[in-house]
Structure 1
Amino acid sequence: MEDRLVMDGLPAFGLEVGAFSSVDLVTAYFGRIADVSNLNAVTDPLHGIPILIKNNIASIENNNTAGSLALLGARTPRDAFVASRLRAAGAVILGKTGLSQWANFRSSNSSNGWSAHGGQVFGAYVQNQDPSGSSSGSGVSAALGLAAACLGTETDGSILSPAQRNGVVGIKPSVGLTSRDLVIPISEHQDTIGPMASDVKSAAYVLQAVAGQDPNDNYTSAIPNSIPTLPDYVAACNPDALSGARIGVPSNVLELFLDFDNSRQVEVTSFLSALSTIRRAGAEVVENTNFTELAAWANSSAETIVLRADFVTNLASYLSKLSFNPNNITSLADVSRFTKTVQPGPEEFPSRNTATWDAALDAQSGFGNTDPRFFPFLQENLFLGGEGGLLGALDRHDLDAIILPTSFAPGFAAIVGAPAVTVPLGFYPAGTPTVMNRRGNLVDTAEGVPYGISFLGRRFEEAKLIGFAFAFEQLTKVRGTVKPFVVPKTEIRRGV
């Protein structure tokens, strides 16, 4: 006789009580990965405690490619700081997850989850589903229980969006809470590393393990309470956390996004219904906590210019740290040249273009982040996300958090390095028309596709947001009400 053990949530308790061994656990996770290999969610698996990390976070045993053949075979001198923190906490890296190539910072016409090194990741809930990006494989892996939890990275939406579209929790930490050391970058001003998991508490455990100061990333020196006195993110998972909280709803954001894309009305309707749940939990919902410079934000190119300039500078810095660089790639110009000339064409250029890089490398308009032209755009970002955006609304209305449908949320936190947590909110209902992605090869929305709600807050107030997200999760328990279209067959079992 064998007992079947639950896969959702961290399996640490089962290990502690001897219900199964680490070998049993790892074997089961490898089996689950094999069961759904057609989704291309996981690349380069290896033995260890079951945590999966995105394929732009260095682990010494693996390729770290950002999905590009230009970096296939390259090596780093050590683990990324966050990977070493996982190991120090008792985890061993199980493998790497597929991603949108270069963390979605290459093309204007590619598809989320595609990379030359890894292929196309597919979402968990609908056949040929767009998994969202760029932490696509991490979102799918968390949804299907291919590991206890996963790490993703976010510059603007790359944790929050694939987490919501695969029906899981994603924590996008403040820039500087988690080190970017030996993580292939886009932007030093916006990049951050965070967990994706089946539930809030599992994600909190992982955040606790990876957060902290690192001398190799000076942004982490901004952490107000450094180790060993970081907030207890796991203890923050309090079902009563919403009681007494002031939660703001920026109505003008909802209006702007619906004017731009009315197909998200299902998500907005569900979001507005969720306000009553938040009120019942004891929170005061403050409506019309609007972002005063929203129109300017919508028409601004500052974020795009900041990201391009950061990428030119930060990518070269990362490449200079490689201990082995087989293709002698030292700059964005080298990457672009490789991508356009490698044969027989696995990088799929020009079908998948390099428009983002072309703009960053333009002789007239392109520059790095040490150029004097850079600073005004950075200041514009900080104003639009600060006084004119998220941070201003929080302060003017004395709020503990802002809530938004996750589809609308990422950019406001991204440009000021603020944290956000997404939790499952619902699924597109029966009869939803199928809408394809911009490339026409993946299902963007359809019946059964998940969506989420995000809690956004001030820098380094992750514990507060985790508490709100946990309380909401416990009241709604959306995850599991709709099943993925493919489910692994392998379960953790023990003999009796």
Structure 2
Amino acid sequence: MNRRNFIKSTSTVGLITTLGIPAGAAIIANNEEESSDDFNNPFQLNEISISELQELMKSGKQSSRSLTKMYLDRIEKIDKKGPKLNSVIELNPDALAIASKMDAEREIGKIRGLMHGIPVLIKDNINTADKMQTTAGSLALAGNMASEDAFIVKKLREAGAVILGKTNLSEWANFRSSRSCSGWSSRGGQTKNPFILDRSPSGSSSGSGSSVSANLCAIAIGTETNGSVTAPSSSNGIVGLKPTVGLLSRSGIIPISKTQDTAGPMGRNVADVATLLSVLTGVDSEDEITKNSQGKAPQDYTKYLQTGALKGKRIGFEKSFLSGHEGVVALYKNAIEKFKELGAEVVEIELLKEMRVIGAASFTVLQCEFKDGLNAYLEKTNAKVKNLTEVIAYNKTNESTAMPYFKQETLESSDKAPDLNSTVYKEALVKVLSSRKIITDLMAKNQLDAIAGTTYGIPSPIDLFNGDAGNGFYFCSPPAMAGFPHITLPMGKIYELPVGLSIMAGAYEEPKIIGFAYAFEQATKHRTAPKFLKFSNFSSGI
């Protein structure tokens, strides 16, 4: 969750203020820059899709085991050595054995589906009942071994996916401090952006975004409360989908907010994201809200991958993003023109202006629900801390390792938050849920099929001491607060840094936005593999 940008995005000034790179700035590669030849070209699976991986296994040219081994070697080369992305917090010691089992099933004609034998990374706040820990990146939870898989992990295993390992994240999904640095956790350290290594990977699903972009896996799973799938997908130049809250179960995932939490797929192309989404849905008796998805979740989202999906559609584009950093604005205007070329009718709208008043209420809801949900989660674990109060105490006792750069004021304020029966919480929740009516009314008034905007601006420098810097572009909050589906995909690059385009629609309208994103993707092909550049300086002399 990108909470700091969320607060800024819902303020009057933060909607249009830009803290971007000076117009004349240019990156100067230093002599130690790692070339793309070293890290991209020799890798046989570079930029490969799930369907292509399946074809390799079907033809016998590769097996799930050989693919898994190649990805594990890639992680060792890129994540732990080489550029040291630090995106994977823990490897699954059983990955090769699982892959071999999937190969044995394939040999006897048992194919579980499109994810059979496909290597996947998942975020380290999702329970796996295996030899890996589930810690949300926190040293306070080190040693926490789940006794049961999260519901979506069960679905992954049923589909035949190979879980390679777990990805690093912004500790506590970026709900620890107002001065947090995205991609840093006390257990996992700092994740880097593979495009330019000193730039932020955003968060909180930093490791999932960085690893997918760097081709360390076929696809990954992140989680989002407010931008934690979509913002890092934008910053790492990939596709990320935050589903309707309730489409995917949250049971077995370390919680922040029952109102806004969801997991979501993160991949290098829209088709892969649609493929993974197809196997993760399902009604879970442990997560009441999933009952709302009955009859609304297609078995196969890939059937909505249509290049003509935008023809005759009416799309609202957020007006406030037409000003700000000139490079980002230029990409945005080009995207709008491309939508027109693809047959869409474009309408300027002002959604963020309507949503300003909800930001503070949303933070109140998150604090109350985080305290309640985390205490319930920890009570059932074998972690050494059993509630939020004990987490805070652990961090204070171990301050030099648990909090060396920024502290835990968000944890502390949440621990003092009112309970879910309080008037404060109930009134704040009503205000947050009003976001659904604001969006649906706006769409109805303008007869819109979807709303689009700039996901996030140019990734800022990693700054462990001052935390994340805003850049004036942040579209993630409205769909997050409303619980509506939101997909982001590459819109282009500035100074070798990617910027994403967001598309959102109403509840359970994933098929619609997947189709729109696919049409734009196929017409533009903005996704490029990262070059692992090392930042040296700006021409301005900074």
TM-score normalised by the chain length of structure 2: 0.79
Counterpart for residue 254 of structure 2: 184
Q: Is the 8 A contact 1:41 1:141 kept in 2?
A: yes
**Structure 2 CA distance for partners of 1:449 and 1:341, relative to 1, 3 Å:** same
Backbone CA RMSD of aligned residues? 1.9
* 3-state SS, counterpart of residue 306 of structure 1: helix
2:71 aligns with 29
Match of 1:276 in 2: 337
Distance 1:348 1:199, change over 3 A: same
**Deviation at 1:98?**
0.4
- Measure, in 1, the Cα distance between the counterparts of 2:373 and 2:442: 31
Aligned to 1:240: 308
Cα contact 1:99–1:134 (8 A) shared by 2: yes
Q: 2:436 aligns with which of 365, 369, 386?
A: 386
Give the Cα–Cα distance (whole angstroms) in 2 for the partners of residues 26 and 285 of structure 1: 44
Q: What does 1:251-266 align with in structure 2 at a 5 Å threshold?
A: 251=319, 253-254=320-321, 262=324, 264-266=325-327
CA gap 1:13/1:377 in 2 versus in 1, 3 angstroms: same
Matched, 1:57 2:126: yes
Please state how far the C-alpha of 1:417 moved relative to its aligned partner: 0.5
Decide whether the 8 Å contact of 2:355 with 2:478 is kept in 1.
no
- Structure 1 position 174, deviation (Å): 0.7
How many residue pairs are counted as aligned between the two chains? 446
Structure 2: 5+ residue stretches without partners: 1-41, 99-117, 457-473, 535-542
Give, in angstroms, the shift of residue 39 of structure 1: 1.2
Matches within 5 A, 1:49-448: 49-61=118-130, 62-225=132-295, 230=298, 232-251=300-319, 253-254=320-321, 262=324, 264-288=325-349, 290=351, 293-297=354-358, 300-322=359-381, 324-325=382-383, 327=384, 329-342=385-398, 345-349=400-404, 351-362=405-416, 366-383=417-434, 385-388=435-438, 390-407=439-456, 408-428=474-494, 447-448=495-496
Structure 1 residues 484 and 469, CA gap change in structure 2 (3 angstroms): farther
C-alpha contact (below 8 Å) 1:232/1:463 kept by paired residues: no
Once the two structures are overlaid, the 10-residue window that deviates more, 36-45 or 152-161, is 36-45
How much does 1:348 deviate? 2.1
Q: CA deviation at 1:483?
A: 3.7
1:68/1:247 CA distance change after superposition, 3 Å = same
Per-residue displacement from partner, 1:41-60 (whole Å, max 9, x unpaired)? 11211214410000001111
Distance 1:266 1:392, change over 3 A: farther
Distance 1:294 1:73 in 2: 41
CA distance in 2, matches of 1:183, 1:295: 29
Seq. identity, %:
37
The answer to whether the 8 Å contact 1:291/1:392 transfers is: no
TM (norm. structure 1) is: 0.86
Q: Could you report, residue by residue, the CA deviation over 1:287-324 in whole angstroms, capped at 9, with x for unpaired residues?
A: 23656624434xx41011010001010101111222x2
* SS of equivalent residue, structure 1 residue 346: helix
Which residue in 2 is equivalent to 1:494? none
Q: What SS class does the counterpart of residue 366 from structure 2 fall into? A: helix
Q: Mean alpha-carbon deviation: is it higher for 419-428 or for 46-55?
A: 46-55
- Structure 1 residue matching 2:166: 3-state secondary structure: strand
Q: Is the 8 A contact 1:312 1:367 kept in 2?
A: no
Decide whether the 8 Å contact of 2:47 with 2:529 is kept in 1.
no
The 3 A distance-change label for structure 1 pair 110 and 287 is: closer
Report the CA distance between 1:5 and its aligned residue.
5.2
Q: Which amino acid aligns with 2:429?
A: L
**Does structure 2 retain, via aligned residues, the 8 Å contact 1:289–1:397?**
no
Q: Which moved more, 1:151-160 or 1:272-281?
A: 272-281
